[in-house]
Structure 1
Amino acid sequence: MTAPAASREQWIDHPRGRIFARRWSPQGVQQPPAAPPILLMHDSLGSVALWRDFPAALSQATGREVIAYDRLGFGRSDARSGRLSLDFVREEATDVFALLLDQLGVPRCVAMGHSVGGGMAIQCAAEYADRCEALVTVAAQVFPEDRTLSGIRAAREQFRDPGQVERLARYHGDKARWVLEAWTETWLDPGFASWTLVPILPRVRCPALAVHGEDDEYGSAVHPDLIAQHSGGPVERAILPGIGHMPHREQPDQVLRRLAAFLEAGTGG
């Protein structure tokens, strides 16, 4: 996947610390594209850097600006202390999303997220309908499915190997241990068992694309099914055969084609 695109860094001031963001523009475009940009929300262990070359390729494929940011506590953003709130998905929408868009100078966007970032994108589209042109979820979960929790337990065992944490530190520095525990200990907390996005999905009225790998080890097709069943707007499901939890890495060209077609047809882009 080769798609060079110009990028620049930007920092956002938040009451709890600075948030790092990177912006990509389509190659050869002198002015920012007129269509709203795509805002990427990363997964539980993710960061801007871990999107790798996907944002640049996405910008080229759609002709839109693409923005990715590190949540507080992740990547290059400032560290956090203490346990992650069990209400962290909603809080990302209510405490960060609008502030982020305002400082980025972005009136509206396409909210797009991978894994729990997809859940955050759903929450943002529900809370800020006027600021979301469209919603894209990739391997999103809308409740803690048994498959999700089993996968997290297995991953927690793998991270007992110090080498795994060292690899995570390449992207999160000395925040790596906090990042890991924010994922495993929050999702496996008994108090998180009742979390669900189903009640808020009817408030999502923009067009939505739910991309999901048929072999996703962290969630079955029940998640895109629930998104399609309960959303208040039109939803396109894209169940990809032979694909696991990382569709944008496993089959990036296929994902890019689906995304570009969806945005062109669904939003008039």
Structure 2
Amino acid sequence: MSTLATCEHWIDTAQGKLFAQQWVPQQAQGAPIVLLHDSLGCVALWREFPAQLAQASGHRVIAYDRLGFGRSDAHPGRLRLGFVEDEARQGFTALRDYFAIGDFIVFGHSVGGGMAVACAAAFANQCLGLITESAQAFVEARTLEGIRAADLQFAEPGQLQRLMRYHGGKAEWVLRAWVDNWLADDFAEWNLDAVLAQVRCPLLSLHGDNDEFGSPAHPERLVALAGGPGLMQLLQACGHVPHREQPERVLAAVLQFLR
């Protein structure tokens, strides 16, 4: 088993500093894999997965906290319609510039999956592979029901403290950025259709059959509308966080895709 070098980085942007971490195998090969977290996530909440992915694949793996999340600086305002697509030209571009990344593979979880699609579309000539996990391709009733239920849960005593462990004083902003954007009237017609048409690389779309935030209609639409070849894998008896619930199956699917 090869050893991994892990390093932390701080990336300056016009809006504030972004926190990033990378996991580098001894004999790193191929393009780096960049991880994009979910609506309440951050680098720390990927837990062991980035190291497991780097170890298993031999690729350098890089994850970063979007502005307003985790160890990155607070967001100066609020997220607005288009924030999913805009990440490609904002935090992701700053990360690529900082690490001098040319060709890359992008892996996004949940809303990070939508952002990964936008990154693959924006840099179609450099993106060699796109992996989405539990990604939403449009606004579905199941998604909104799951968000409303989570919002009620976080309103209970002590629940917001769970988020504060990872986001500190930004926790309330993180929660509202998720809930209020997705439930907003002007977000109801949002979808990734136009962005998907600009994707040129191969796509692997992973989705749990018990995902409480989206039905299999999402990976079906991602694969159907992506401009490159697409492959969908529905994980049985799995919820919204496959890389935590079924890491071996996720890693096996990703390794097969990378080959």
Change (3 A) 1:116 1:4: farther
Change (3 A) 1:177 1:3: farther
Q: Which residue of 2 aligns with 1:198?
A: 193
Contact 2:113 2:134 in 1 (8 A): yes
Distance apart, 1:240 and its partner CA: 0.5
Contact 2:15 2:76 in 1 (8 A): no
Distance apart, 1:190 and its partner CA: 0.6
Deviations 1:195-238 (A, max 9, x none): 11012211111011000001100000011101111111111111
Does 1:68 find its partner at 2:68? Answer: no
Deviations 1:53-97 (A, max 9, x none): 000000011110000000000000000133211211111012232
Counterparts of 1:101 and 1:245 in 2: how far apart (Å)?
28
Counterparts of 1:97 and 1:128 in 2: how far apart (Å)?
11
Counterparts of 1:7 and 1:106 in 2: how far apart (Å)?
17
Q: Which residue of 2 aligns with 1:25?
A: 24
Distance apart, 1:163 and its partner CA: 1.0
Runs of 4+ with >4 A deviation = none
Change (3 A) 1:164 1:5: farther
Distance apart, 1:108 and its partner CA: 1.8
Equivalent residue pairs, number: 259
Contact 1:5 1:57 in 2 (8 A): no
Counterparts of 2:157 and 2:175 in 1: how far apart (Å)?
12
Counterparts of 2:156 and 2:188 in 1: how far apart (Å)?
27
Counterparts of 2:185 and 2:233 in 1: how far apart (Å)?
31
Q: Which residue of 2 aligns with 1:267?
A: none
One-letter code of the match for 2:248? Answer: D
Does 1:81 find its partner at 2:76? Answer: yes
Deviations 1:146-198 (A, max 9, x none): 00000000000001013111010000000000000000001001111111101
Q: Which residue of 1 aligns with 2:147?
A: 152
Match of 2:108 among 104, 113, 119: 113
Counterparts of 2:202 and 2:99 in 1: how far apart (Å)?
23
Distance apart, 1:4 and its partner CA: 6.5
Distance apart, 1:261 and its partner CA: 0.9
Match of 1:141 among 126, 136, 139: 136
RMSD between superposed Cα atoms in Å: 1.3
One-letter code of the match for 1:220? Answer: S
Q: Which residue of 2 aligns with 1:12?
A: 11
Does 1:180 find its partner at 2:175? Answer: yes
Q: Which runs of 5+ in 2 are unaligned?
A: none
Does 1:55 find its partner at 2:54? Answer: no
Q: Which runs of 5+ in 1 are unaligned?
A: 265-269
After TM superposition, the score normalised by the length of structure 1 is: 0.94
Q: Which residue of 1 aligns with 2:236?
A: 241
Counterparts of 1:3 and 1:20 in 2: how far apart (Å)?
26
Match of 1:91 among 74, 86, 89: 86
Counterparts of 2:3 and 2:146 in 1: how far apart (Å)?
34
User: For structure 1, which segment, 231-240 or 96-105, has the greater mean C-alpha deviation from structure 2 after superposition?
Assistant: 96-105
SS in 1 for 2:125: helix
SS in 2 for 1:129: coil
Matches within 5 A, 1:203-242: 203-242=198-237
Counterparts of 1:260 and 1:4 in 2: how far apart (Å)?
19
SS in 1 for 2:223: helix
